[in-house]
Structure 1
Amino acid sequence: MKIETIRDFQRPRAQVLHMFRDPARIETVLQEMGARVERVSVAPQMAWSCAMVWREEPRKFSVNLLETSTDETMTMTLESDLAGADMVMDFYDLDDGGCRIIVEAELSAHTMVARLALQSLRLVRGKAEDRLKRFVGALGGPPRK
């Protein structure tokens, strides 16, 4: 299943990219989603081993982030036994000095349970796209105090 979203920031692209390149920021966002996060690799290809509870079961997953085109494109892959997601994030300058990120994510199910969850997600595509937009917004948002 393919989902897409666009997220605009009122900060320059360099500042938004800085947040995406910060492994601690990514760890914080994943932890705020309820995941336990352990960094296993740093730039140029950052990677994390994670775990969280989903449907009352502990689930392990991995996250990989690579800047595939300097200052323009990043790819993030989330992979578990149940499902996977491949995201391509393209960064653009806006005329007002802000930054736009266009995200395309391809979700794939590896088990019957995940296929059923993905089917129900298709029925509420807008909700999935909204979650993706909030995730990208959290990653690229201003530094937290």
Structure 2
Amino acid sequence: MHLTAKEDIEAPMDKVFAALTDFETIERQALRRGVEVRRTDSIAEVAPGMSWNTRFKFRGKSRDADIKLRECYEPERLVFHTKVGGLEAETRIEMVALSRARTRVNIDSELQPKTLSARLLVQSLKLAKGGIDKRFRKRIALFAKDLENRLRAQG
């Protein structure tokens, strides 16, 4: 299953990339939303190999997700690989400078089931694809707006 979204942010591309790789801030935001987050690597700078273990509730059950930064090409691309049970996802975040002060962020996520239960989950998601797409885009739009506001506040 494929999910895509794109948002324009009123900020230079290098600042958007820096905000998207400010993982400490992102970890704190996740904690405020009830997601347990734990770094599982010892890499000091933003680089492939960074990894996290998270725990969150989905459909009434506690789920564990392992997230790994696979690629990092500053300032234009990040690629994450996520495993949640029998489901794997590859998420690409690409930035394109539209002007000096405006950046387009493209997010592309591909879900791949690896077990029968994951296939059943993805199949049920596909049946509700219109609603899932809409919620995904709305969530990305909210994230982009929050990011833009944070960057504006920083000056």
Return the TM-score normalized by structure 1. 0.82
Q: How does 1:110-125 map to 2 (within 5 A)?
A: 110-125=114-129
97-106 or 114-123, which moves further after superposition? 114-123
What is the CA-CA distance between 1:120 and the residue it aligns to?
2.2
5+ long unaligned stretches in structure 2 = none
Partner of 2:143: 138
Alpha-carbon RMSD across the aligned residues, in angstroms, is 2.6
Partner of 1:61: 65
Partner of 2:133: 129
Residue 44 (structure 1) aligned with residue 51 (structure 2): no
Letter of the structure 2 residue corresponding to residue 138 of structure 1: F
Letter of the structure 1 residue corresponding to residue 36 of structure 2: R
Partner of 2:93: 89
CA 27–18 in structure 1, closer or farther in 2 if over 3 Å, else same: same
Q: How many residues align?
A: 145
Partner of 1:106: 110
Larger Rg: 2
54-63 or 29-38, which moves further after superposition? 29-38
Q: Map Cα deviations across residues 92-111 of structure 1 (whole Å, 9 max, x no partner).
A: 01137211111221101233
Distance 2:5 2:125 in 1: 15
Return the TM-score normalized by structure 2. 0.78
Residue 23 (structure 1) aligned with residue 23 (structure 2): yes
Distance 1:63 1:39 in 2: 9
Q: Percent identity?
A: 23
| Consecutive aligned runs of 4 or more in structure 1 exceeding 4 Å deviation | none
5+ long unaligned stretches in structure 1 = none
